[in-house]
A = this chain, B = another copy of it.
Amino acid sequence: MTRTDGRAENELREITIERGWSTQAEGSALISFGNTKVLCTATFTNGVPRWLKGQGKGWVTAEYSMLPRSTNSRMDRESVKGKIGGRTHEISRLIGRSLRAVIDTKALGENTIVIDCDVLQADGGTRTAAITGAYVALADAIEWARDQKFIGQKAQPLTDSVAAVSVGIIDGVPMLDLAYVEDVRAETDMNVVVTGRGAFVEVQGTAEGAPFDRAELDKLLDLALGGGVTLTEIQKVALGS
A77, A87, A197 pick with most chain B CB within 10 angstroms: A77
Contact of A203 among B86, B93, B197, B217 (CB under 8 A): B217
The digit string for A86-117, where 1 denotes a CB below 8 A from any CB of B, is 11111011000100010000000000001010
Query: Which residues on the B side are within 8 Å of A195 (C-beta)?
Result: 211
Counting every copy of the chain, the complex holds: 6
A65-B79, A79-B81 provided; 14 other pairs, C-beta below 8 A?
A24-B122, A28-B69, A45-B74, A86-B93, A90-B93, A160-B211, A197-B211, A200-B207, A200-B211, A201-B211, A202-B207, A203-B203, A203-B204, A203-B217
Query: Which residues on the B side are within 8 Å of A65 (C-beta)?
Result: 77, 79
Contact between chains at A90 and B86 (CB < 8 Å):
yes
**What is the bound-complex CA distance between A61 and B90, given in angstroms?**
17
Q: How far is the CB of A164 from chain B (nearest CB, A)?
A: 13
**What is the bound-complex CA distance between A85 and B89, given in angstroms?**
8
Q: How far is the CB of A125 from chain B (nearest CB, A)?
A: 15
Query: Which residues on the B side are within 8 Å of A77 (C-beta)?
Result: 63, 65, 79
Query: Which residues on the B side are within 8 Å of A122 (C-beta)?
Result: 24
- Is A82 interfacial (CB 8 A cutoff)? yes
Number of interface residues of A (CB under 8 A): 66
Chain A binding surface, main DSSP class? mixed
Contact between chains at A41 and B69 (CB < 8 Å):
yes
Contact of A221 among B63, B82, B84, B217 (CB under 8 A): B217
**What is the bound-complex CA distance between A149 and B123, given in angstroms?**
27
Contact of A86 among B68, B92, B190, B212 (CB under 8 A): B92
Contact between chains at B199 and A118 (CB < 8 Å):
no
Contact of A116 among B43, B68, B78 (CB under 8 A): B68
Q: How far is the CB of A180 from chain B (nearest CB, A)?
A: 10
